[in-house]
Structure 1
Amino acid sequence: MEKRKKIIITLFALGIVFTLGAPYFPTVVFDVIRLYDYHFESIRWADVIPSIRTCGIIFSLWGIALLYKK
């Protein structure tokens, strides 16, 4: 039971972090990519941010579904 509770909390927290952190993702990636001198102009950020946010929402809903499944 304790392991199940940890999984639920982890999924929900990960979903919240992804959902709220999606707008800041390009800044972090730019800083990392700049270290390796990569051509980051070719990355389409308008498509990346919504997909990260969607992934966060899915993780949150997955955690809530596991909570109510019991």
Structure 2
Amino acid sequence: MSIARWAIRPVGTAKAFLAEELRSARYGDIVSVKAAIEAARRDAPYLQDTDDELMETIIELARELGLAVLFDSRD
């Protein structure tokens, strides 16, 4: 008899993950797009969003939280 093994992975969206990452930021802080995307790739490898989709989410959240965005992802 064969037993199928499924990978156990967290369930969530890129927006939920990034919101958690940015929750400690204060109004006016700067968020690096490059660092945020690297954190998503490292800590949430199950996310299937492209870098451009992640960048859109970062911008949206930054606007909601009053953060400045550093567009350094192409460096």
Q: TM-score, normalised by structure 1?
A: 0.40
Pick 1 or 2: higher relative contact order, CA cutoff 8 A, min separation 6.
Answer: 1
Between structures 1 and 2, the one with greater helix share: 1
Between structures 1 and 2, the one with greater strand share: 2
- Higher Cα Rg, which structure: 1
Q: TM-score, normalised by structure 2?
A: 0.38
